[in-house]
Amino acid sequence: MDRPFIFINSAMSADGKLSTKERKQVKISGKLDFERMDELRAQADAIMVGIGTVLADDPSLTVKSPERKAARKAAGKSENPVRIIIDSAARTPLDADIFKKGEGLRIIAVSNSAPAEKIKSLEEKARVIKTGDFKVNLPELAVLLKEMGINTLMVEGGATLNWGMLSAGLVDEVYTFVGNLIIGGKTAPTFTDGEGFTEAELLGLELLSAEKIEDGILLKWKIKGKK
Ligand SMILES: NC(=O)c1ccc[n+]([C@@H]2O[C@H](COP(=O)([O-])OP(=O)(O)OC[C@H]3O[C@@H](n4cnc5c(N)ncnc54)[C@H](O)[C@@H]3O)[C@@H](O)[C@H]2O)c1
Ligand SMILES: Nc1nc(=O)c(N)c(NC[C@H](O)[C@H](O)[C@H](O)COP(=O)(O)O)[nH]1
């Protein structure tokens, strides 16, 4: 399948959570890891999050550093990568920060069962791509994104989208910043939620690097496929 190089970059607590049991955003990264994330964003052709993240965090998904934005412009690119929301039912709020902040193309991926009137209102703010009957068909979307010239795609989460991408075999590398805190909670989102693999489907990884950053550790993994 001709698709972009796809990596996930998320921050999780030492006990593997992405946020609290109320899905409240937690500042897990320190200054240096946010800097690292900003650099990853600036180097990426596109950034992708799920609608759950948009509804919980209202992220702008913009590049923060003026130097990085200038470097992108000097290279003839938009100051921000393409920003993509995976949103089966077209629930993205029209006043979401992602529409208000920064220049650059926004893409909302919806399923074929999304309400027509919601799609119509989103089309004034973003390019809407319809794929999948009830939930977004991620493999099909990946091929479309590659055809659009997106060669490097950064997935920032959340928990369910990470599952969707990993279980579809669409992820090449995973970068997890493990922060120095415990969040706990049976219902708190983890790095990978969703249905979960059976013993026969476990996903094998190759450790690429482990690096201490401030009080946390950055683990970089290459996906090897079924263990
Ligand atoms: N710490 C971090 O790095 C980080 C990063 C992002 C999000 N978060 C946290 O994660 C939580 C959000 O995670 P979440 O799991 O609720 O939502 P999510 O952001 O993973 O969005 C998942 C939603 O995307 C949609 N979707 C459509 N097609 C899909 C498919 N094929 N596969 C998977 N999803 C599909 C569905 O509506 C699904 O519910 C928030 O609390 C947020 O703060 C943390
Ligand atoms: N790398 C990272 N470390 C964290 O500690 C944390 N909570 C997130 N969460 C990711 C989520 O997408 C955030 O909501 C955006 O990172 C908000 O920042 P922006 O407005 O997008 O710049 N990501």
β-pairing, 82-86 vs 46-50, is: parallel
- For 182-209, letters b (16+ CB in 10 Å) and e give ebeeeebbbbbbeeeeeeeeebebeeee
Reported residue count of the chain is 227
What pLDDT, on the 0 to 100 scale, is given for residue 225? 83
CA distances from 8 to 43, 73, 91, 112, 120 (A): 14, 25, 23, 26, 30
ipTM at complex level: 0.97
Average confidence (pLDDT) per 10 residues, the chain, 227 residues: 96 98 96 98 98 98 98 98 98 98 97 98 98 97 98 98 98 98 98 97 97 98 91
pTM for this prediction: 0.98
**pLDDT tens figures, 105-155:** 999 999 999 999 999 999 999 999 999 999 999 999 999 999 999 999 999
Residue 1: its pLDDT value, please?
Answer: 86
Query: Looking at residue 162, what is its pLDDT?
Result: 98
Beta carbon of 25 within 6 Å of any ligand 1 atom: yes
Give backbone dihedrals phi and psi of 57, rounded to 5 degrees, phi first: -110, -20
pLDDT of residue 114: 98
Which residue has the least CA distance to atom 2 on ligand 2? 11
- Cα–Cα distance between 39 and 154 in angstroms, integer? 11
Q: Where are the beta strands (DSSP E) in the chain?
A: 5-12, 46-50, 82-86, 106-110, 127-130, 152-157, 173-178, 203-213, 216-226
> Residue 63, class by beta-carbon neighbours within 10 Å (0-12 exposed, 13-18 middle, 19+ buried)?
buried
Q: Backbone phi, then psi, for 74, in 5-degree steps? A: -65, -25
Verify whether ligand 2 is closer than 6 Å to residue 57 (CB atom).
Answer: yes
The response to whether residue 40 sits with its C-beta less than 6 Å from ligand 1 reads no
Residue 200 CA, ligand 2 centroid: distance in Å: 33
Domain with 132 in it: what CATH number?
A: 3.40.430.10
pLDDT of the residue at 9: 98
Shortest CA distance to 176 belongs to which of 196, 199, 195, 159?
159
List pLDDT tens digits, range 126-138: 999 999 999 999 9
Q: Check if 59 has its Cβ closer than 6 Å to any atom of ligand 1.
A: no
Domain count of the chain? 1
Range of the domain at 123: 3-18+25-224
- Most ligand 1 atoms within 8 A of CB, residue of 28, 85, 88, 160 to mutate: 160
Pocket test for ligand 1, best of 7, 15, 18, 108 (most atoms within 8 A of CB): 18
